[in-house]
Structure 1
Amino acid sequence: MKTSDCDILIVPGYTNSGVDHWQSRWERQLSTAWRVEQENWDTPTKDAWVERIARDVKRAKKPVVLVGHSLGVVAIAHAAPHLDRGKVQGAFLVSLPDVERPDFIPAIDRAFAPIPRDPFLFPSVLVASRTDPLCDYEKAEDIAYSWGSAIVDAGDAGHVNTESGHGPWPEGLMRFAGFLKQL
């Protein structure tokens, strides 16, 4: 699959992805990419985020490939059973946060936990870092397996965001292109 063959839905996490974040850069670079806008990025609620994802998948004109980061990954997992069957062709997921940790960000709706573990009905890949402060690699690996996702070890990459030096993130874009080729 080529980027022109699909609608690429960018699903940012908590507080959205800033202008220099790799998701924002991909949105500007990829002509068929657009962001799933949330009403409240700073005090996210699971039901509202899931509804927005499902709504945007429904209004897409082409097959959909989801690109989630951080809390957007968890929101996609919650939305997966509600998405139009067959319309979502794949999901490229980066930096799953462990919302099940008791010390997780207080502004996050506790309904995001537990993280769903049902297998996805579409191909997916989860990119996880060995040094992500929001999720241990072993937890990300376990959840990826439950979803039926391929796991990609990003090594020492922090939370794979601007703060960890992943603004442009060309390696991620190449991996995403490889994922699309497999669809």
Structure 2
Amino acid sequence: MTASSIWLLPGWQNSDAPHWQSRWEAVHGDYRVEQHDWMRPLRGDWQARLEDELLAAPAPVTLVAHSLGCILVAAWASHSRNTAKVRAALLVAPGDVERDDIRQMIPGWAPIVRQPLPFPSILIAANDDPYCEQRRSRQMAADWGARFVDAGQGGHLNGESGLGDWSEGRKLLNELLKDKK
């Protein structure tokens, strides 16, 4: 267990070295929640892992999720009795697991849980994400009660997007935490 209160929730296949989540882990000391199987993600297993980690957490944490990690946050929050341990969530580029091609690659994650999150959140999505149309991201933000931020052109906002340390994302995270105080 780490002392960091910023927890990184990567999506399917984890976040590679050029990914902003990996860079935040290295630069800021944020804590990555390691899943048991990054290649064949099972929703129940991923939810149980997040729940176990939160039960062991000494203080409230902020979740910073990417792609399938966003879908995990919504699914976990709908069942957990420990949502008070989450201070806020930054949700980046959710994957549309209800889309036929993605549903086949990552079975068992549809339907997307659509109830409001019990903590403040911001959802950031690009208008050219190959894994989720922006109108779908906007709808998820509305369903989850998250503030929506249009990232413009940026693809899936991952390592291939060339975001580096992604200072704009960190700025939004800091705004979210400032608003929570």
Q: TM-score range by the shorter chain?
A: over 0.9
Give the TM-score, by structure 1 length: 0.92
The unaligned stretches of length 5 or more in structure 2 are none
Alpha-carbon shift at residue 56 of structure 1 (Å)? 1.1
- Alignment match, 1:174: 171
Q: Which contiguous aligned blocks of 4+ residues in structure 1 show a shift greater than 6 angstroms?
A: none
Structure 1 residues 69-124: Cα deviation after superposition (integer angstroms, max 9, x where no partner): 0011111111013151421111000001110011116341x221111001111011
- For 1:146 and 1:20, the matched residues in 2 are separated by 31
CA gap 1:51/1:142 in 2 versus in 1, 3 angstroms: same
Structure 1: gaps (5+ residues): none
Residue 134 of structure 1 contacts residue 159 of structure 1 at CA under 8 Å; is this kept in 2?
yes
**Distance (Å, rounded) in 1 between the aligned partners of 2:83 and 2:75:** 15
Instruction: Report the CA distance between 1:167 and its aligned residue.
Output: 2.9
Equivalent in the alignment of 1:17? 15
Match of 1:44 in 2: 41
- 1:76 alignment counterpart: 73
2:54 corresponding residue in structure 1: 57
Q: Residues 82-161 of structure 1: matches in 2 within 5 Å?
A: 82-104=80-102, 106-108=104-106, 110-161=107-158
Separation (CA, whole Å) in 1 of partners of 2:26 and 2:58 = 19
Report the alpha carbon displacement of residue 180 of structure 1 after superposing the two structures with TM.
1.3
- The answer as to whether partners of 2:120 and 2:176 remain within 8 angstroms in 1 is no
1:7-36 per-position Cα deviation (integer Å, ceiling 9, x unaligned): 1111000110012210011112224x2111
What CA distance in whole angstroms lies between the structure 2 residues aligned with 1:116 and 1:105? Answer: 14
Q: Distance in 1 between matches of 2:6 and 2:86?
A: 10
Inter-CA distance 7–83: structure 2 relative to 1 (3 Å threshold): farther
